[in-house]
């Protein structure tokens, strides 16, 4: 671990990235605009431990438009992804920033401590641990981040993320076309506005991933041909809320694992209820591509 993590005090000038002396910029993190940036700083506290400062805007694209805003749970996952990009950029040797992508993500939220923003933005402190490094030919091929989130001194959530090379599509794999899709209302899937809706109903009432905005600045930046893990995660959250008739505030946890590529349009989402949790399965054609769970608070 210590041979692969480069602290600021160590002599790693031969491998330092541009601008490594200051906070990362939105361009360095591979973001589409400055408004998408959530991470303000990342500092090393030990061989495997880091501390990050984040700022979550009240008017973030995923948040509801309300006087008092409870931040969308995916802000925690997106912050963790940005922390990973900053870690690769500043501290992790032999990894090109943004080459590794999330392949599994799980998060949990304590609604009693979760920040509610009535002003401009919430300041969030993040304690980060790096573990489970996989090294091939001297290069980091995979690793795991565990992030604990604090606001006003209270821990309100955790997010664990494994980053690796994403599943590669088979030759000729493409989005599946569905006809006669009916899109649900944003409120029915816990979305703040129509562009955030990822689902539609197809034949026999099946739920199909069909993003209203195929270039969504947070979920689908750059109009990718394959859905990133966070977009699959949000599709599972939306499908669960629609299936269970639940409110967004009932979501206490979300997890997803990518097993195969998920096309940006046409994958089918199947939801099954199991007590206070729901499982969702994402199928790309006949292949099971992703599996996840959404945990709901009991009424």
Predicted pLDDT of residue 175 = 58
Residues 123, 100 contacting (CB under 8 angstroms): no
Could you tell me the pLDDT band of residue 98, with boundaries at 50, 70 and 90? Answer: low
pLDDT at 166: 77
Side by side, which strands form the sheet with 287-296? 39-44, 49-57, 121-136, 139-151, 154-164, 101-109, 251-258, 287-296, 277-284, 268-274, 207-209, 199-201
Q: What is the pLDDT at residue 8?
A: 39
> If pLDDT is split at 50, 70 and 90, which confidence band does 178 have?
low
The mean pLDDT of 249-254, rounded to a whole number, is 91
pLDDT above 50 (res 138)? yes
pLDDT confidence of residue 177: 63
The whole-number pLDDT of residue 4 equals 54
Burial annotation 125-142 (CB, 10 A radius, 16+ → b, else e) = ebbbebeebeeeeeebbe
Mean pLDDT of 137-147: 88
Mapping DSSP to helix (H, G, I), strand (E, B) and coil, where does residue 261 land? Answer: coil
Count Cα neighbours of 75 within 13 Å in the Cβ-side half-sphere: 32
Gyration radius (Cα) of the chain, Å: 19
- For the segment 78-97, the average pLDDT, to the nearest whole number, is 81
What would the 3-class secondary structure string for 77-108 be? HHHHHHHHHHHHHHCECCCCCCCCEEEEEEEE
Pairing state of beta strands 39-44 and 116-117? unpaired
Can you give the pLDDT at residue 182? Answer: 87
**Residue 176's pLDDT is what?**
60
What does the pLDDT read at residue 21? 47
41-56 tens-digit pLDDT: 999 998 899 999 999 9
Exposed, middle or buried by CB within 10 Å (0-12, 13-18, 19+), for 12? Answer: middle
Of 63, 41, 58, nearest in space to 50 by CA: 41
Structure-block tokens of residue 155: 């821990």
What's the distance, CA 43 to chain centroid?
Answer: 21
Which has more pLDDT, 141 or 235? 235
Q: What angle do CA 229, 137, 87 make, to 5 degrees?
A: 45
- From CA 54, how far away is CA 251, in angstroms rounded? 22
- 135 compared with 23, residue with greater pLDDT: 135
Which of these, 220, 229, 216, lies nearest to 160 by C-alpha position?
Answer: 229
What's the pTM value of the predicted model, to 2 decimals?
Answer: 0.87
């Amino acid at each position: 671990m210590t041979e692969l993590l480069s602290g600021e005090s160590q002599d790693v000038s031969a491998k330092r990235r541009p601008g490594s002396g200051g906070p990362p910029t939105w361009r360095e993190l591979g973001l589409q605009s400055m408004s998408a940036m959530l991470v303000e700083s990342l500092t090393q506290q030990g061989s495997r431990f880091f501390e990050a400062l984040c700022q979550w805007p009240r008017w973030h694209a995923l948040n509801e438009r309300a006087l008092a805003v409870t931040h969308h749970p995916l802000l925690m996952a997106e912050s963790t992804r940005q922390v990973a990009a900053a870690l690769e950029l500043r501290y992790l040797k032999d990894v090109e920033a943004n080459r590794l992508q999330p392949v599994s993500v799980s998060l949990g939220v304590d609604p009693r401590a979760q920040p509610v923003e009535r002003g401009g933005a919430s300041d969030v402190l993040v304690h980060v641990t790096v573990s489970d490094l996989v090294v091939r030919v001297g290069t980091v091929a995979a690793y795991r981040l565990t992030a604990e989130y604090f606001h006003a001194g209270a821990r309100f959530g955790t997010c664990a993320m494994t980053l690796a090379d994403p599943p590669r599509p088979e030759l000729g794999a493409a989005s599946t076309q569905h006809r006669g899709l009916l899109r649900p209302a944003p409120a029915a899937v816990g979305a703040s506005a129509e562009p955030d809706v990822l689902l539609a109903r197809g034949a026999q009432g099946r739920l199909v991933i069909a993003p209203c905005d195929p270039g969504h600045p947070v979920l689908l930046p750059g109009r990718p041909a394959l859905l990133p893990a966070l977009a699959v995660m949000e599709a599972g959250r939306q499908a669960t809320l629609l299936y269970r008739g639940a409110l967004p505030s009932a979501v206490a946890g979300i997890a997803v694992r990518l097993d195969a590529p998920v096309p940006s349009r046409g994958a089918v989402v199947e939801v099954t209820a199991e007590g206070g949790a729901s499982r969702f399965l994402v199928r790309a054609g006949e292949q099971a591509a992703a599996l996840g769970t959404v945990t709901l608070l009991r009424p």
